[in-house]
Amino acid sequence: MRHYTGLDKFIHSFDQALRSLVPGVTSAQRDNPGQNTPTQLAVSEARHVAGLMRVNHSGEVCAQALYHGQALTAKLPNVRREMEQAAIEEQDHLAWCEDRLKELDSHTSLLNPVWYGLSFGMGAIAGIAGDKYSLGFVAETERQVSLHLEDHIRQLPAHDERSRKILEQMNEDELHHRDTALNAGGVDLPAPVHIAMTGISKLMTKTSYYI
């Protein structure tokens, strides 16, 4: 097995960040769930849906960063592999959201580098704290993401089946990642951590909708 130096790890982390942040770089391994589903939206509807998809795209950027940070500091090899695999699966979500934003003639959030850096740091700290807390952090993150997705699904125009299918598949994946983290030994996080994560999530949601 090859031994990676600190420089190797830095280069790999930088490459992961670029793939998460540069539009058009990430490609999905699975077909877009909303493909072949024609949807016509009014201008006001398209603007609102674009805001929702921009928030969801930023949420996936955060998830990528979280998994990358945790994989870097996870102590057990099996936990590190699970973090890396989850990050790969989340890449589909990034690509799907970006595709939908392009269709709506909109853009990803300009604040994504901020969210990536913040989430990467939180993930690395969680990994240092121990694998059971790292997995618990994943479970709580996926729970909060799922709540956002369910809320956004309710907000979609009734005839926007294209966006709905994307968000429903994303939500199914997030819940699977949450259950996987809990089954692997994740524990509940202290109340202050819950509160901090909720606050950051609300800030990201409110700003990324517009910027």
Closest CA to 163 of 112, 106, 114: 106
Known binder of ligand: residue 68?
Answer: no
Please, are residues 97 and 64 in contact by the beta-carbon 8 Å criterion? no
- The answer to the question of whether 103 is labelled as a binding residue is no
The residues, any chain, with a CB within 8 Å of residue 193's CB and separated by 6 or more, are 137, 140
Phi, psi of 28 (to 5 degrees): -85, 145
Report whether 174 belongs to an annotated binding site. Answer: yes
Burial of 126 (0-12, 13-18, 19+ CB in 10 A): buried
The backbone torsions φ and ψ at residue 29, rounded to the nearest 5 degrees and listed phi first, read -85, -25
**148 annotated to bind ligand:** no
Place of tokens 């990536």: 116
89 labeled part of a ligand binding site: no
Mark the binding-site residues for Fe cation, compressed into ranges. Answer: 60, 90, 93, 142, 174, 177
Mark the binding-site residues, compressed into ranges. Answer: 60, 90, 93, 142, 174, 177
